[in-house]
Structure 1
Amino acid sequence: MTNLQQIFSDTSGNPTFHKSLLTKYPTVSINPNIQGGWPVIKGTRVTTIDIFRAIIKGHSPESIILQFKEMGVSLNKDQLDNAFRFSLEWLYFLHAKREKKATK
């Protein structure tokens, strides 16, 4: 299990998230048959965490869009923004869950 899987997954290796995130971010989907159930930009195999990491590393939305376009994947700024925000809220959810567990 990679470090990211340890952070984001339950003990079975499945991603742990709050279902309300999918309602709030309709451009994100989760399907156990796509990328092992990790959140992706709907209609693609691009994981939200990959977008999050690219933005954190300083890549501009334009450069991310261009890089994926070169691989035959069409993305727009709204999808990137939603993927990034989804990941931020996901991290917050996991942190709160971990803190709650630690105080028990």
Structure 2
Amino acid sequence: MILLSIFAMAGLVFFSRYLFLEPKLPIKLNHTTQRLLAYSSPAILTAIWAPIVFIRDGDLAISPTNPYLLGALFAAVMVWKTKNVLWTTVVSMALFLILKLAVFV
């Protein structure tokens, strides 16, 4: 049953994306809908990373001993300065690993 659910969800996601990505299909979105959908990716990404960075054990964790917060701040500053997402990801993950395993044990 679980395997069937996984395949059903995968099919639903694939076909919902396929309808908008296949150029031969006559589905076109109006300008307002396209503008609104431009905000969906940043909103979903924020909903994923914000609880990870700011919440520890159900409480707000804004302190200099939070390696998640330090790694996120470093990544934000680095991507702003370098404009290189791949390099920022690799370096900030290494910094987070060092902070998590060596500094804040």
TM-score (norm 1): 0.29
Structure having the higher helix fraction is: 2
Structure of larger gyration radius: 2
| Structure with the larger RCO, 1 or 2 (CA within 8 Å, 6+ apart) | 1
